[in-house]
Amino acid sequence: MASTEPDFKRFVFIIIDGAPYAIFKGLLENGDLPNIKKYVVDPGSLNKAVSVFPSTTGPAFIPFFMGLYPGTANIPGIRWLSKSKFHTPHRFKRPGVCSYMGLDGLRFEADLPSGFPTLFNFFSPVSNIYNLLARGCPPAKNLTRWIKPFVYTYAHFSHRWRFVNRIAIRQFHKAIEAGDKFVMCLFPAIDTFSHLSDIQSPQVFQTYREIDTAIGNLVHTLQKANTLEETLILITSDHGMTNTHTHIDVPQHLDDGGWRCLHYPKVWRQGTVSASMVSGNGMTHLYFKNSGKGKGWGERAPFEQLCQMGVVGSLIELKGLGLVAGQSETGDIIVQSRGGQGKISCHAQDTDDENPQRATTAFKCADALRFSYQFTGTDPLGYGVHYKNLSSRDALRETYDSPYPDGIVQLWQIFKSERTGDLVLSAESGYDLRARYEIPEHHATHGALIAEHLHIPLATNYPITEQCIRSVDVFPTVLNLCGHNISEQYIDGRVVK
Ligand SMILES: [Zn+2]
């Protein structure tokens, strides 16, 4: 391989919604994905990358397209509530409470922070298939913008998600043949079939094979046009998944504790003093009304106050609840499990340790920050090590193969968002945090901070040797390989080689 990096002229970006790294790798090694192996991984690489918290569609797309964490982008979940903006009589006037699963899905793009470019801004012509983060893509090139609501609704009720995938394949092929310089294609069916059945069901495996065939056809089209060499192909996923055996009824638990809980779809509930906004359904944001502080629900309640109220103690007793995290009065992030408590603190590199300048809210270049982690009792994150003044990159490396990969930085970033709950809950593998009103019932889960949800495959037809990669790194890395420069000062990601 020559030492100079190629400038790819085209970029084909494929997101397989809900493909866990371990399953993808297993299929590849068993010969079930022969085209991806031959044309992508063999000449390039397959890496285990790390997604973001919450590991759920929507928030977990922002890193790929903008190089930002969900917390930086102020979109900390597929559902959220803004305590400062949420109040009667206008409680439903946006942006008080939001679920991108419903009509608000159309608002996802408008809710993204302004002034940040997306991948679509760097290429022309572009096309987009099913992906909801299409800012920068001309409407006419958002190929599924008209049919998506209909085919998704149809498939939701009929469970015919293969039909949705086939439309993706057809549009994908058309865009490649048209010679578009950036083609973005989301395949939604692995996620939905997994939720409906099992992450390794025959339907799920069949869908993987169909996607592999589509990629084989794509490569043949590129070969015929003599443009394979100049095309960067990247296949990844927004999150992994685990099978679910038990649903935890968080709103019921809060009701029983005397904190009457607002939750989807019962957002009209009267007299509520708490809210649960679930994502994936392995994580949820919990909000508690701070009375007597203006019209809204007040500011973020500190972790200490919620402990005093008995909320934290009551929640950690729930079997299957892995972590409860909140923000301390000091600005540090506290993470609590049944066996112990951890504390994440973050300060700017250039301030002295005696008087650290807190860096939890303002945007700071990740390289300018240092992270420390201490715990008492059993380490809730399972690292078993106290860390001091780690760079963001070292915090990733140290925790990469742990049960909570990148947990230090991920818990820090989610609390940067004003819309993040007073408490953030993450379920253990096998459990989710929604027991009612999920129709059809979900048999698989994502959204949590656990390794099975965070580890995602990153297959590229150009070799990437770096072992520790975050999904936020994809944005600057792809731009770099395609000959574009992006100032890393204003994004969370870094170019990886
Ligand atoms: Zn899902």
What's the pLDDT score for residue 105?
A: 78
How is residue 216 written in tokens?
């084989």
Cα(195) to ligand 1 centroid in Å equals: 7
Q: Ligand 1: distance of its center to the CA of 437 in Å?
A: 15
Between the CA of 7 and the centroid of ligand 1 the distance, in Å, is: 35
Other beta carbons less than 10 A from residue 189's beta carbon: 26
C-alpha 189 – ligand 1 centre gap (Å): 10
Beta strand extents in 38-195 (DSSP E only): 45-50, 79-81, 97-99, 126-129, 182-187
Tokens at residue 389, please?
Answer: 């003044």
Tokens for 139, please give them.
């409407």
- Ion ligand 1 — residues with CB under 5 Å? 191
Q: How far is the CA of 58 from the centre of ligand 1 (A)?
A: 10
**Nearest CA-CA partner of 183 in 235, 148, 115:** 235
240 C-alpha to ligand 1 centroid (Å): 9
* pLDDT of res. 352: 47
Q: What is the 8-class DSSP label of residue 496?
A: -
What residue ranges do the domains of the chain occupy? 10-75+112-243+449-490, 246-444
Q: Fold for domain 10-75+112-243+449-490?
A: Alkaline Phosphatase, subunit A (3.40.720)
Q: Chunked in runs of 10, what are the mean pLDDT values of the chain (497 residues)? A: 71 97 98 98 98 96 97 95 75 70 80 94 95 93 83 76 86 92 94 94 95 95 94 98 97 97 86 94 95 75 97 96 97 97 90 46 66 98 97 97 98 96 98 88 95 98 97 97 87 94
Ligand 1 centroid distance, CA of 57 (Å): 7
Measure 3 CA to ligand 1 centroid, in angstroms: 40
**To 5 degrees, how large is the angle CA 164–CA 166–CA 171?**
100
